[in-house]
């Protein structure tokens, strides 16, 4: 199975066109370069690196242990990822293909080992029953890595270029 790219600027009169794209192949949509990369999850899933100008953002979508495989193909300035469960629920997170703060720490260490830097890290998709634990554990990971990890909130905006 290959990812589907939604193109709202397609030919003809269609408001929306769906196009199958290949993993690891850059595709242009408007002023953006898009590349899908497979990510580990309970069902087949893809993350997407979006590049505009000199800025690269990688959105993992749902992803679990083994996300470091993506670092062979992407080197984002900004990582938008999930952290669905607390570390106490690591076994379940591993089964269903989601991250915990500890698993995120492991993949960030792998990223830095491969690329020599850490991207700006934005975390979303926290499972509500785990929110307090995840926020607390992410703060510890942030301190241990000496790198800011931002938990996103609704209506937040970011300047991805700085």
Mean pLDDT of successive 10-residue stretches along the chain, which has 162 residues: 61 67 91 95 95 96 96 98 97 96 98 98 96 98 98 88 59
Provide the pLDDT for residue 14. 59
First and final C-alpha spacing in the chain: 36
pLDDT value of residue 160: 72
CB atoms within 10 A of CB 30: 9
pLDDT at site 5: 62
pLDDT of residue 9: 55
Tracing tokens 């242009």 back to the chain, one arrives at 28
Tokens of 28: 């242009």
Domain positions in the chain: 25-151
**φ, ψ at 103 (rounded to 5°):** -65, -35
pTM: predicted TM-score of the whole model, two decimal places: 0.89
> 25-151: CATH homologous superfamily?
Ribonuclease Z/Hydroxyacylglutathione hydrolase-like (3.60.15.10)
Three-class SS state of 2 = coil
Tell me how many degrees the CA angle 69-145-155 measures, rounded to the nearest 5: 80
């Amino acid at each position: 199975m290959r990812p589907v790219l939604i193109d709202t600027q397609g030919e003809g009169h269609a408001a929306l066109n769906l196009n199958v794209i290949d993993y690891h192949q850059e595709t242009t949509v408007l002023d953006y370069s898009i590349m899908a990369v497979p990510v580990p999850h309970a069902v087949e899933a893809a993350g997407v690196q979006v590049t505009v100008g000199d800025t690269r953002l990688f959105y993992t979508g749902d992803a679990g242990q083994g996300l470091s495989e993506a670092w062979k193909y992407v080197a984002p300035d900004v990582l938008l990822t999930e952290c669905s469960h607390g570390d106490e629920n690591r076994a379940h997170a591993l089964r269903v293909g989601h991250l915990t703060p500890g698993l995120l720490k492991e993949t960030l260490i792998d990223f830095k080992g491969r690329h020599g830097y850490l991207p700006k890290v934005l975390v979303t998709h926290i499972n509500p029953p785990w929110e307090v634990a995840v926020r607390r554990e992410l703060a510890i990971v942030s301190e241990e890595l000496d790198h800011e990890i931002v938990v996103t909130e609704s209506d937040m905006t970011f300047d991805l270029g700085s």
